Structure 1
Amino acid sequence: MKLTIADAGPVSPLPILRPPAVPIADFGHPPSMLPYGRRDSYGRDPVEREVPAVTLENERLRAVFLPGLGGRLWSLVDLATGRELLHRNPVIQPANLALRDAWFAGGVEWNLGTTGHWALTCDPLHAAWVDAPYPVLRLYEYERLRGLVVQIDASLPPGSPALVVSVAVHNPRPETVPVYWWSNIAVPQTPGTRVLAPAAQADHFGYAQRLTTVAYPGEPDSSYPATWSEAADYFFHITSDTPWIAAVDAEGHGLLHTSTSRLKGRKLFGWGTSPGGARWQQWLSGPGAPYLEIQAGLARTQLQHLPLPGGTTWTWTETYSPLALPHPDAPYDRARAAVEAAAGTLALAHPSLSEHAAGAWTDRPVAEAVHRGSGWGALERRAGGLPESSATPFPDDTLGEEQTPWLALLEEGGLPGEAVCVVGPRWLSLLRGAADWHGLYHLGLNLWATGDRSGAQAAWGRALAERRHPLVLRALAESHRIGGDDAAAAVLLLEAHTLAPAVRPLTVETLSALIAAGRPADALALVDGLDPDDRAHGRTRLLEAQAALAAGERARTGRILEEGLVVPDLREGEDALDDLWFAYHGRDSELPAAYDFRMSRPRG
């Protein structure tokens, strides 16, 4: 199908050593995002192009999936009314909201891994039709951070008023693995949109504080997200044996999501009405397309992981259906009871929603592949980490250039070329005998992924003794920066940048390190020597403006702000633009709307 899309671009050659940032430490918080690299090579110039799509349809609903973009459920249309039940974004515009940077708003996103938008949100998944009596679409992939196989079976049984999605998460390893899952459902937000769930309390998170248990909907009534002053999360204390959440507009039309009991968590997220919230909405979806998210997860909040034992598969079933609520503005308890009754009727009418039927198609073999995902599952199978499976096959013909060096390590004992990162127990074992710079570099990455920071630094030190390579210099620099030694990081990154001046992510890290180390003049000298395209990038111009201000070159900062500063990869919650503006103009100045991405309303 044709969509207006800004491509996320190639993956950065610099793997992510930093752990994901979460407000509260929890069991299962990973030491880094290894083996993944950033997806940060996008702009803000979308064009219309063909995007792979797979459609399911029965007499009542039409569902469209995007297997090339994380398997996103992009559209769900009620055929009786023609209503789109999801926020079908008019543009796929990447922005820096995911664990690997690039993320886009809209549809239903599947999230496996750790707190945040998952690593594969912009990556292709395998897609195939299942050997079943009616069309069942299977989306699946090997998730490399946790070493898990995720399987999503979607179907529209004949006559069903609900899209049925059965999920299976399999741990092929012998050891217990922390698991995290949230289905993030974007729906349109109108002035009268109301969100209901079977809960009288929720854990509230407002970006300026930690979790606080509050009454829901409380006073003022929080069930109307369009009235919130600020962006917020509400994690509901669900009381129903059949968990559900619903969003309806002022006329009572909307979406009902239910699930079997394993998927017990429910959440509401809204951007609020602050200038920053409005700016984020426009940034992600363009003008006139506000949305909110209703979500469903394995735990109560998104700060928690659950232990998935070795050799174990967890399954559950979700449904997505139209909802018509006769009195959407009724007192909350009355409106909630009406949705509860609708959810109960749906469960009684569809045996596929019962606990014993969850994962009914899990072991069925696939019949026909319709889209290829990555070759990482095939590599792990060849390494002995994944068993053969007709339900989730990872065939050899999916192996590609990224996997070729690692096949050589498996079969010949050496790692040729400059391979992308792979981590895991088998690979760590194979790399322990490495003596060349390349093998030692990857040994360090594998040790870092286990949390052995000193071992990783030692491996990288040995690698540098063999060759002063920019990848090794950068890895060692990042380890120092994470450890709080900005000065050492800046020295190493400057050397790395001299060896690889055309790698833009390395340029960004070097400039950031120089500023953090109190060397803004050196940062400006580096900017002055950049290729024009790299210098014109929004992130580089932001760093140039920050360095100029720190170096006392205020006019240089002023010119950049006056010309207009657009930073495509501005992070969610990042305050760099407003900090820069106020540092230059003073706190009493008015922040332009184009620079206001504050998640909380500024205090008077």
Structure 2
Amino acid sequence: MATTVRRAVLTLPAAPLGPENPLPPLAAPGDVHRPAVPRARDGEELPPAMARRMTWAPLRSLLPVRRRDAYGRHRQRTDLDALVVENDRLRATVLPGLGGRVHSLFHKPSGRELLYSNPVFQPAGFALNGAWFSGGIEWNIGATGHTTLSVAPLHAARVPAPDGGEMLRLWEWERLRDLPFQVDLWLPDGSDFLYVGVRVRNPHHHTAPVYWWSNTAVPEAPGSRVLAPATGAFHFGYERALRRVPVPVWDGADRTYPLNGQRPADYFYDLPDGERRWIASLDAHGHGLAQTSTDLLTGRKLFLWGSGPSGRRWQEWLTEPGTGGYAEIQAGLAPTQLEHVPLHPGGEFAWLEAYGPLAADPARVHGEDWAAACAEAAGRLEAALPRATVDAAYAAWRPYADHEPKETLAAGSGWGALEVERGRLELPGTPFAEGTLGEEQRPWRELLRHGVLREEGPEPGPSLVSAPWRELLESAGPGPYTAYHLGVAQWHAGDRSQAVRSWEQALRYGCAWPALRCLGAADRLDGHPERAADRYAAAVAEARHARVAHPTATALAREAVEALLEAGRAEEADALLAGVHPTARSHGRFRLLRARVLLARGDAAAARAVFDEGFDVDDLREGERALEDVWFAVAERLVAGDGPVTEEVRDRARAEHPLPVRYDFRMGA
């Protein structure tokens, strides 16, 4: 039975994603995955190439991508479109509408699910642009962190496989770096391993920074061990410092058992040159999943949540009570996840990955002899899937990577089609069809074809910010939204003063609230809180007058309240918060803002009552400290009364008012 590809429906309890945040994200993303300094802890020197890649091409902003922060936590049974890739040994279930995630990899002979397959769909704030969900195998491209495509639809089609069967192709245009990519999945006849061919292309005339990590969630249980052919690793925790550590035992514990760690942490394995690239997670009985690849995919990593309270809290947050935990085994283009790799003009990166079951002698893989444990796993992997077979499968796949799809199964965005038209690009194998262009692309296509950007209505659409689009905006006919979008593109390029001038021009043209909001955001980032507060207050008033849509009004109000608080204008913040739609005001993020407003007004008891009533901040971001910061600020004021907040007061506040488990998401504790 060669690979077959068929449509299916996966029904899960699912939380709503909600609409995109329409406000362009001008701030550089807070990156908990980037080291505070580009060197190892205690001054240890990093390999020179690694150090260079860690400081090269950081994101200026998330533009042109919009944030996804309007999701909730109320789950209902929901049908999700799925594509099933299957042979007589394995069944892979893929979600094309959610980043092409491999939700399940089921091994038929053993009756085992090889992945941690989340029983619910629950977005959380881990992607670069917000919404992300745990479980399965995800394809991370763009920049350090979880891809902005985590919950986005990808194009999908049926294509011929190298062995004469069928292959599932997924592809999209990654917008942070403006790069097309594809992921081809197939199962040869009789194979216990899912083959995955990946290609990232650079169709531009400049070198592009590339980031890729394939991220596999595996079940975590007492006795589970992660093995990789390394005796050392770079440890990276939420203190954002690298530390070179031995493998497997460090600081008195064997860290290859994920539950031996207390805190969430990354371990980037330092694989020797020439060693086969692989990583495996095996349970107490020696059974589990192995991932291997051709040599281009050099990096291997273990992420663990740890057994401490915050890690357990996060795991519960990402699923439902009673669900087992998970760890992540990952594979990337660079030795660590903190690096971007240069891809030259017209070049491409391509490799083959394989995922499948591994069974090994439990006495050996769980023995004290680490070299023997790795040799046992490596030997079993070589017997199940020889390294030469993977290399041969890659060579056989390469000509098929250019084969045109024969049947479309799902559609992604229209942004790739727009870029293909603008650049007059030929991308064999990944057609970005004209029919995928939609309303969001319409004004930009008109700008491309006629030199005029026409948008109507009270709200501008998404901005485009790359140099070619900025040049088209600079030469376009004048107009309110033209000047607004030009300002966004100039801001992204680092020309802040010119961006401000463009937004001021947009304001004169009658683009009121969007320009005022951007000017206010610029003032916040440039350290002018009073002026920012004035502009945000004016933007809210103009938006109400324009009767903008509910998502826009909510997103704008949230930023405006924060700006007013930063300017010390708590009374105005309170009045603005009172004008937010009651449904939005009941959400956790606005409940937290309410507590901040009450504290700023001097009513710490009322602020504490907000916490005591209980709320959940649905869009809490990875590493975000807002909950603990506000909680302890309230506690300090309750202890201090009318007096000053001294170190003694702070110590008493933490002793007398410990952070409740409900609000404890401290990644470093």
TM-score range (shorter-chain normalised) is over 0.9
Measured in 1, the distance between the counterparts of 2:435 and 2:240 equals 49
Find out whether 1:428 has 2:470 as its counterpart. Answer: yes
The one of 86, 90, 106 equivalent to 2:135 is 106
Single out whichever of 449-458 and 225-234 deviates more from structure 2.
449-458
Deviation string for 1:433-470 (max 9, x for gaps)? 34222101111122222222222222112212222522
The residue identity in structure 2 corresponding to 1:108 is I
Q: Is the 8 A contact 2:185 2:194 kept in 1?
A: yes
**Cα-to-partner distance string for 1:112-140 (whole Å, 9 max, x where unaligned):** 10011111111000000113311110000
> Which of 587, 592, 597 is 2:654 aligned to?
587
- Would you say 1:556 and 2:556 are equivalent positions? no
Please, which moves more after superposition, 104-113 or 236-245? 236-245
Partner Cα separation in structure 2 for residue 47 and residue 227 of structure 1: 35
Distance (whole Å) between structure 2 residues aligned to residue 389 and residue 231 of structure 1: 40
Q: Which residue of 2 aligns with 1:21?
A: 30
Comparing 523-532 with 447-456, greater Cα deviation is found at: 447-456
Matches within 5 A, 1:161-560: 161-219=192-250, 220-239=253-272, 240-287=274-321, 288-327=323-362, 328-331=365-368, 332-345=370-383, 346-348=385-387, 350-351=389-390, 356-357=395-396, 359-383=398-422, 385-417=423-455, 418-434=460-476, 435-501=478-544, 502=550, 503-560=553-610
* Structure 1 counterpart of 2:114: 85
Report the secondary structure of 1:362's partner residue. Answer: helix
Q: CA deviation at 1:21?
A: 2.8
Quote the Cα distance in structure 2 between the aligned partners of 1:351 and 1:119: 30
Is the contact between residue 53 and residue 67 of structure 1 (CA under 8 Å) also seen in structure 2?
yes
Instruction: Output the CA distance in 2 between the equivalents of 1:524 and 1:192.
Output: 52
The worse-fitting range, judged by mean Cα deviation, of 31-40 and 478-487 is 478-487
| CA-CA distance at 1:299 after TM superposition | 0.7
Equivalents in 1 of 2:211, 2:387: separation in Å?
29
Number of aligned pairs? 600
Name the CA distance, whole Å, in 2 between partners of 1:354 and 1:340: 19
Matched-pair contact (CA < 8 Å) for 2:231–2:248: yes
Mapped to 1, the partners of 2:186 and 2:15 lie a distance apart of 29
Which structure 2 segments of 5+ residues have no match? 1-8, 36-53, 545-549, 636-652
Conserved? CA contact 2:221–2:324, under 8 Å: no
1:548: how far off? Answer: 1.1
Conserved 8 A contact 1:366-1:390: no
Aligned amino acid, residue 463 of structure 2: C
Structure 2 residue aligned with 1:96: 125
Supply the distance in 2 between the matched residues of 1:163 and 1:444 (Cα, whole angstroms). Answer: 46
- Cα distance change, pair 52–339 in 1 and its aligned pair in 2 (3 A): same
After superposition, what is the alpha-carbon deviation per residue over 1:184-218, rounded to whole angstroms, capped at 9, x for unaligned?
11111101111111111111112124111111112
Q: Are the equivalent residues in 2 in contact too, given 1:172–1:386 (CA < 8 A)?
A: no
1:578 equivalent in structure 2:
628
TM-superposed CA distance for 1:556, in Å, is 2.3
1:349: Cα distance to partner? 6.5
Could you tell me which runs of 5 or more consecutive residues in structure 1 were left unpaired when the two chains were aligned. none
Cα distance change of structure 1 residues 360 and 333 upon mapping to structure 2, 3 Å threshold: farther
Instruction: Give the AA of the match of 2:406.
Output: A
Mapped to 2, the partners of 1:97 and 1:15 lie a distance apart of: 19
Once the two structures are TM-superposed, the CA of residue 341 in structure 1 deviates from its matched residue by 1.7
Assess if the C-alpha contact under 8 Å between 2:358 and 2:381 holds in 1.
Answer: no
- Asked whether the 8 Å contact 2:293–2:390 carries over to 1, the reply is no
Once residues 439 and 341 of structure 1 are traced to their aligned partners in structure 2, the CA distance between those partners, rounded to angstroms, is 62
Higher alpha-carbon deviation: 308-317 or 285-294: 285-294
Q: 1:506 and 1:406, CA in 2 relative to 1: closer, same or farther beyond 3 A?
A: same
Query: Contact 1:316–1:358 at 8 Å: present in 2 too?
Result: no
1:352–1:64 CA distance, 2 compared to 1 (3 A):
farther
Question: 315-324 or 410-419: which moved more?
Answer: 410-419
Residue 320 of structure 1 aligns to a residue whose secondary structure is strand
2:357 maps to a residue whose letter is P
Whole-angstrom CA distance in 2 between matches of 1:100 and 1:60: 37
The answer to which of 499-508 and 303-312 deviates more is: 499-508
Residues 91-115 of structure 1: CA deviation (Å, up to 9, x unaligned) = 1100111111101001111011001
Whether the 8 Å contact between 2:68 and 2:129 is mirrored in structure 1 is: yes
> Would you say 1:121 and 2:142 are equivalent positions?
no
Deviations 1:44-63 (CA, angstroms, capped at 9, x unpaired):
01111111110011111110
Equivalent AA in structure 2 for residue 336 of structure 1? C
Report if the CA contact (8 A) 1:153-1:361 is conserved: no
CA distance in structure 2 between the aligned counterparts of 1:573 and 1:41, rounded to whole angstroms: 19
User: In structure 2, what residue type is equivalent to 1:274?
Assistant: G
Q: Deviations over 1:58-89 (max 9, x none)?
A: 11111010000000011001111111111110
Q: 1:463 and 1:304 mapped to 2: Cα distance?
A: 38
Instruction: Report the Cα distance in structure 2 between the residues aligned to 1:376 and 1:105, rounded to whole angstroms.
Output: 26
How many Å apart are 1:354 and its aligned residue?
6.0
CA distance in 1, matches of 2:397, 2:570: 58
* Cα distance in 2, alignment partners of residues 82 and 582 from structure 1: 49
| More displaced 10-residue stretch of structure 1: 414-423 or 165-174 | 414-423
Indicate conservation of the 8 Å contact 2:22/2:461, yes or no: no
- String of CA shifts for 1:501-527, please: whole Å, max 9, x gaps: 542111111112222222222211211
TM-score, length-normalised on structure 2? Answer: 0.87
Amino acid at match of 1:170: R
Tell me the residue number matched to 1:9.
Answer: 18
Q: Deviations over 1:241-262 (max 9, x none)?
A: 3211111111111110001111
Secondary structure (helix, strand or coil) at the match of 1:278 reads: helix
Instruction: Note closer, same or farther for the CA distance 1:353–1:538 as it changes in structure 2 (3 Å cut).
Output: farther
Q: Deviations over 1:291-340 (max 9, x none)?
A: 11111111111111011011111100100010112123112221111122
**1: CA distance, partners of 2:432 / 2:238:** 41
Residue 64 (structure 1) aligned with residue 93 (structure 2): yes
Tell which deviates more after alignment, 25-34 or 369-378.
25-34
**Secondary structure at 1:51 match in 2:** strand
Q: Quote how far apart the aligned CAs of 1:386 are.
A: 5.0
CA distance in 2, matches of 1:289, 1:473: 48
Cα distance 1:265–1:360, how it changes in 2: closer, same or farther (>3 A)? farther
Shift of 1:490: 1.9
Superposition deviation, residue 353 in structure 1: 5.2
| Kept after mapping to 1: 8 A contact 2:294/2:391 | no
**Residue type of the alignment partner of 2:537:** L
Distance 2:599 2:150 in 1: 36
Greater shift, 269-278 or 419-428, is seen at 419-428
Compared with structure 1, are the counterparts of its residues 307 and 191 closer, same or farther at alpha carbon in structure 2 (3 Å cutoff)? same
- For the 8 Å contact 2:123–2:133, the answer to whether it is kept is yes
Distance 1:209 1:296, change over 3 A: same
1:264 and 1:146 mapped to 2: Cα distance? Answer: 21
TM-score (norm 1): 0.96
